[in-house]
Amino acid sequence: MEPNLNLQEINVIKEKAIEMAFEFGPVLLKAIILLVIGRQVIKFLTRLLSNALEKYEIDPSLSTFFKSFLSAVLWVVLLISVATTLGMQMASFVAILGAAGLAVGLALQGSLSNFAGGVLILVFKPFRVGDTIETQGQLGSVESIDILYTKIRIFDNRVVTVPNGALANNMIINLSQKPTRRVEMKVGVAYGTNLKKTRQVILDTLKKDERIHEDPAPVVYFTNFGDSSLDLTIRCWVDAADLWPVYWDNMEAINEAFEANDITIPFPQRDVHHFYPEGKK
């Protein structure tokens, strides 16, 4: 009798399984279809928003942020819809989501700080995508501003990912915000050099460079009596993009002009005085 009883139990379990399959199978299939279609809809809406932002020439910083935010919101809506389709009560799901959100919020305080920092960056715009900035000991070009992080490409082509919270709460030097920049060069000439002649030689050299602005005009100041030289500071204004090329080119041109006009750039030197005791050579 025992084998027959086991067979009966197996048949009951099989019938229950078939019954549950017919009962929950369509619901599960519907949820899977909803998840697949919803995923494609999210991609479509994100792409649609991207095209709209590009069409109306919205700031790339805002564009990246809006796309990331829209994608996150749509995924939350999709997951709620899938859970509801599977038979989970909305009130229960919201309660679970709220409790989970509180736990996640406590665990991810840093991420929430980064999110708030990203919002502040986009609202107050201390920098934008494409700007060259200096922050957190890094100098480079801003590649993207996402929900939580900002990516900066430094000049050796490495990409540094900086949390938005750190950026929003620390000093940022924006090198691209203004259209013009001041170039500052320092040179030293030997003691006894005619400073008026030297100043004129430098100004004549700078006039040959069309990238240097005439207003404000270039200036040359005598700034210090150095240990071995008379120190001069040269200042001129250029377009922001020309700053370093103008600096490098004119430092070389000034050196050549000094050589042509017999103006000496001294080496560091010291005078040593040796005193002998009386009666000794």
- Note whether 258 and 193 are within 8 A (CB): no
Nearest to 207 by CA among 239, 260, 250: 250
| pLDDT per residue as tens digits for the range 168-187 | 888 999 998 899 999 999 99
- Note whether 218 and 236 are within 8 A (CB): yes
Q: What share of the chain in percent tops pLDDT 90?
A: 37
Mean pLDDT across the chain: 83
Asked whether residue 78 falls in the same domain as residue 140, the answer is: no
Which two structure tokens, joined as six digits, stand for 214? Answer: 């005439």
The domain total for the chain is: 3
- Omega cis (within 30) before 216: yes
Asked whether residue 201 falls in the same domain as residue 215, the answer is: yes
How far, in Å, CA of 262 to CA of 272, rounded?
Answer: 27
**Does residue 244 form part of some domain?**
yes
Asked whether residue 99 falls in the same domain as residue 82, the answer is: yes
How far, in Å, CA of 235 to CA of 25, rounded?
Answer: 78
Nearest to 136 by CA among 154, 118, 123: 154
How far, in Å, CA of 231 to CA of 267, rounded?
Answer: 13
Q: What is the CATH number of the domain that holds 11?
A: 1.10.287.1260
- Predicted local confidence at residue 100, as pLDDT: 63
Predicted structure pTM score: 0.58
Asked whether residue 28 falls in the same domain as residue 89, the answer is: yes
**Does residue 152 form part of some domain?**
yes
Q: For residue 14, what pLDDT band results from cuts at 50, 70 and 90?
A: low
Query: Where in the sequence is the domain holding 248, given as residue range(s)?
Result: 180-260
Q: For residue 268, what pLDDT band results from cuts at 50, 70 and 90?
A: confident
Mean pLDDT along residues 48-74: 75
**Does residue 87 form part of some domain?**
yes
How far, in Å, CA of 82 to CA of 97, rounded?
Answer: 14
Q: For residue 109, what pLDDT band results from cuts at 50, 70 and 90?
A: low
How far, in Å, CA of 195 to CA of 201, rounded?
Answer: 10
Asked whether residue 67 falls in the same domain as residue 156, the answer is: no
Asked whether residue 194 falls in the same domain as residue 239, the answer is: yes
Which has more confidence, 41 or 270?
A: 41
Asked whether residue 62 falls in the same domain as residue 33, the answer is: yes
**Which residue has 């995924």 as its token pair?**
75
